[in-house]
Structure 1
């Protein structure tokens, strides 16, 4: 009997401990900063004038009264963002990370508390940037911090017991943990930082931080990359020196007299006006190699390595700028020879340097993050890296030199340097061997 009494007493103690402070209705809400949230009041009576909502600040004993007798407390800091729904739910407009915590809905009739409390625990996901600038440039480093704010750090417990996870994805939902372009670091149970070097093509792309619990996405917060000076209309052009290039003006009007083309070699250099009001600037060095197409495109005849850079097409109507800029980034591949002679002899050593010129040295980033490659091939498209006759040296991310000793049979053979990005040949430039005294 004594044993049974002890068991019954233990059961009562456990039951009391479970009931103490617990509510009949409890809900957990996940949201991201900037969203609108409605917290349900499950114990609501038909008339919301009996409803009181309170807020408990995490890790403090302070409780703030938000709604009393169905009337909003206008003396609190966020009063303008709060309202009471027709079902007595608490509406919070454009929540911030400071809104996380415990919200309690209570009912009072004739000054007496009625029924059990209904509680809502609000977890808020927030993304912040290390950059104070709203716009950044290609080549800049960006660090984003994603943090889940929860009442009394319950996030830590959710990660341990509820299989809760935070992770970053791109705009097509691919987990960025698998992409070498992005460095992901967990500096706490509920904090994930992402660091990357921005490329031109990152403009307007969206990076999202997700909260997943037991394979279910609970909420997400996004960050959209905005690069300074970038436009909605943008094109990247790959060319080799000596080619003719046409740069499209995507924002062109029907009459090219409204068109202006400018050129910027580097982001730190000045801007040169090439075309103004549809008329070519004849005072610039390369004026004879430029012309305006019937569709307002910019034609460059026999490009050189010095033509690489950023080209911007703008429209002006009655002296006022019209629409958004259209930009073209021109990358130029160039090959040079160590020999000053146009013809050399069999047995001579020749060194060819292939270099890829880009705006603001973005080639370095393209090599690291877009799998851009430079390599030499012969006229049968065989990669010369595998041929012991040729010595290859990379003296920079976008410079590859080829050295070989020429043979008689090399006369009129063609060596080509290729640019490949994501397994697609973007452009190539060739060098034809001419041996002295040999016939073509």
Structure 2
């Protein structure tokens, strides 16, 4: 029995899907202990938008550590924090006309969401929060209450309360007006819905199956929030930091959320790091009212600062994402055309996927791709969507190579009768 089976909890998951023992990684590649190379279309579940061990960030991190730069300081002021805040404001916020205060919660995405929930409830004095079908916001109790997935929710072991789940964009079909449906609940005092403190949304529901909110749906939701004095929280944890093209996924729609949650690729290096951004008038926490031992991860400040300077001082990365997005979509459409039935290709930027009617097909494609040297995961309520999350910085030749493996894997599964419904 190996050490993982002997000692590690049964709760482990990804190692069952991708059972190699990985040793090193660089850019778009992961290498196992036997020297086998895998193209990574998973990117740490979106935590490695700039690939594995990006050189400009690694150099800055090594330099910082070699001169005994402070690594842990709770929320005390440090030089590394000052440089991050200055760079984040000068390069990310101000050019986009965004006026936010920056809160450092604990270092993970769910910490950011929990802080946003507490803040919204404190500001409004209301307890209810509206989340949307197929949303995923984290695994701690507050964020888990927002999450739609029944299997994840069941792990809580207690009732998950103070949240109302409403239909996401196109959840009831493209003809249904889910915003009008939501407003009917809000305007009717007998609907059973308490006026919420906030709406929390992902503009692209990543874990929920790469479900994309349309521009009009988002614009209407923000207008509805304003009409009823409800805050809007955008969870940009997986689809922010350039995943859809711009730094924030909501940028193309000229919208300014009240609160924004960031994590995953914020550090740029896979180091745990999260922010909760809030409009200045919402900055109402008393000192220490929400805290955590690992808020303010200084090593992550260093790599996050380096990533912003390296990738976001111009729009070259966004333009690259847009170019690669078209390449990805064309290949996915080709794959979809090989299967019977109506398969949906969906996504924005470099988070895209194919929804299969039979979830077994998506799972089989992921397994087949792994056997051929490509790491790619599934998502959706029944894991029916093959989801692509390549590093944003991947070179075009490697992207095409990975897409060819994906296409070969899909065709191999398509020819296997037991995998086709």
Greater RCO (CA < 8 Å, at least 6 residues apart): 2
* TM-score bracket relative to the smaller structure: under 0.3
Greater Cα radius of gyration, structure 1 or 2: 1
Using the size of structure 1 for normalisation, the TM-score is 0.22
Using the size of structure 2 for normalisation, the TM-score is 0.22
Q: Which has the higher strand share?
A: 1
Q: Which has the higher helix share?
A: 2
